[in-house]
Amino acid sequence: MHIDILTVLPELLESPLGHSIMKRAQDKGHLTVQVHQLRKWAVNAYGQVDDYQYGGGAGMVMMCEPLVAAIEELQKERTYDAVIYMTPDGERLEQRTANRLSLKENLLIICGHYKGIDQRVRDHFVTHEISIGDYVLSGGELAAAVLVDAIGRLLPGVLNDETSALTDSFQDNLLAPPVYTRPAEFRDWKVPDILLSGDPKKVEDWRHEQALKRTQERRPDLLQ
């Protein structure tokens, strides 16, 4: 998969995407991410990419010209399966959104700032609008990093058996069960006997039961 990201703050994306599993995904060639400084397509030598909003009011709006020039230049290189705008008024990011997007080949992600981007870019270029939750961040970069991480770890070959996404919370609409590691007894807190039983069927049943219990307690909405 290839992902292009348009932003005025490329630095904000370097660290989250440059470590751990996202780094490995890129090193192994499963994922390429190119972060583009939007100011490269600025309307003047000052690097301007935003302007006052029509109708008045506080807050700047990211202009059509730089965004459209950037998108159209990138579109000459490749055809995008989705042009995604990160915005708090978008559709909430869920595991199923990440699953679906992980099947695509080329994604373009636009990070907004200030009051957001000119509506005409949303109307004519954006195919998906995604929010990572009901709160407002100061820009779309951290949201984009969350989205790329959620998608990137699902790409075939990125996770090994130990980190397999199949046992993640949400993958089957259940939260993940509790997990334990050595020692089997710490202070007087013991690991549940079943996990030490060596009986894979019993362990699997216990995990399913615990996953159900946890989901019932914490996220009953997932079971409906």
Binding residues for S-adenosyl-L-methionine: 112, 132-137
**Do the Cβ atoms of 166 and 124 come closer than 8 Å?**
no
71 φ/ψ angles, rounded to the nearest 5 degrees: -60, -45
Contact flag: residue 143 with ligand ADE (CB under 6 A)? yes
Does 135 engage in binding with ligand ADE (CB under 6 A)? yes
Shortest spacing between CB 14 and ligand ADE, in angstroms: 18
Query: Taking CB under 6 A as the rule, does residue 7 contact ligand ADE?
Result: no
- Taking the least distance from each CB to ligand ADE, the nearer of 50 and 158 is 50
By beta-carbon proximity to ligand ADE, the closer residue of 54 and 135 is: 135
Residue 32 structure tokens: 């390429």
Minimum Å distance from CB 38 to ligand ADE? Answer: 15
Rounded CA-CA distance 211/208 in Å is 5
Q: What is the C-alpha to C-alpha distance for residues 113 and 134, in angstroms, rounded to an integer?
A: 17
> Under the criterion CB under 6 A, does residue 60 sit at the interface with ligand ADE?
no
Taking phi over 0 as left and psi of -120 to 50 as alpha, with beta for the rest, 218 belongs to: alpha
Stretch 100-129: interaction string toward ligand ADE, x if CB under 6 A: ------------x-----------------
Nearer to ligand ADE, 71 or 86 (CB): 86
Query: CB 140 → ligand ADE: shortest distance, Å?
Result: 4
Q: Which is nearer to ligand ADE, 86 or 154 (CB)?
A: 86
Q: State in angstroms the smallest separation of the CB of 65 from ligand ADE.
A: 22
Q: Does 132 bind ligand ADE (CB under 6 A)?
A: yes
CA 140 from chain center: how many Å?
11
- Specify the residue, 131 or 210, whose C-beta has the smaller distance to ligand ADE: 131
Rounded to a whole number of angstroms, the minimum distance from the CB of residue 132 to ligand ADE is 4
**What's the maximum distance between 2 C-alpha atoms anywhere in the chain?**
69
Q: Measured at CB, which residue is nearest to ligand ADE?
A: 143
Token couple for 77 = 């290189």
Interface with ligand ADE, residue 88, by CB under 6 A = yes
Residue 175's nearest CA partner among 223, 224, 143, 134 is 223
Residues near ligand ADE (CB under 6 A) are 86-88, 112, 131-133, 135-137, 140, 143
